[in-house]
Amino acid sequence: MLIFDKPKWHIDAGMNIKDVLEKFRIVFDFLLSNDMLSNDGIEQIEIGIDEECSLNEMAVNKKGKSFLEYCYNDIINYNSEDIATALYEKLLSFNKLQEHC
């Protein structure tokens, strides 16, 4: 299974748990609002984003997986204040790319 990211990885690296979890909430909410989550991803939101959460290929649908493969490595280290803007900008370029395919 392809795992894009886990809060635990950031927390284990010394990042503030509150900031890490907020960042993941933002990412999951963004994916949800852009119809990129699978039922598994929606369930993670409903249960609550915590340290054991996993942003993986089972949490997203085909569009979500393509989007994350396209951009997630570029934005993985953005903080919770900047990641929403980065996701939106990447979505614009992703959509343009999809139009030309």
User: Under DSSP, is residue 4 helix (H, G, I), strand (E, B) or coil?
Assistant: strand
* pLDDT tens for each residue of 60-98: 999 999 999 999 999 988 988 899 999 999 999 999 988
**CA distance linking residue 44 with residue 75, whole number of Å:** 21
CB 20 within 8 A of CB 81: no
CA 12 – CA 40 distance, rounded (Å): 24
pLDDT digits (tens, 9 = 90+) for 89-101: 999 999 998 887 6
Number of domains comprising the chain: 1
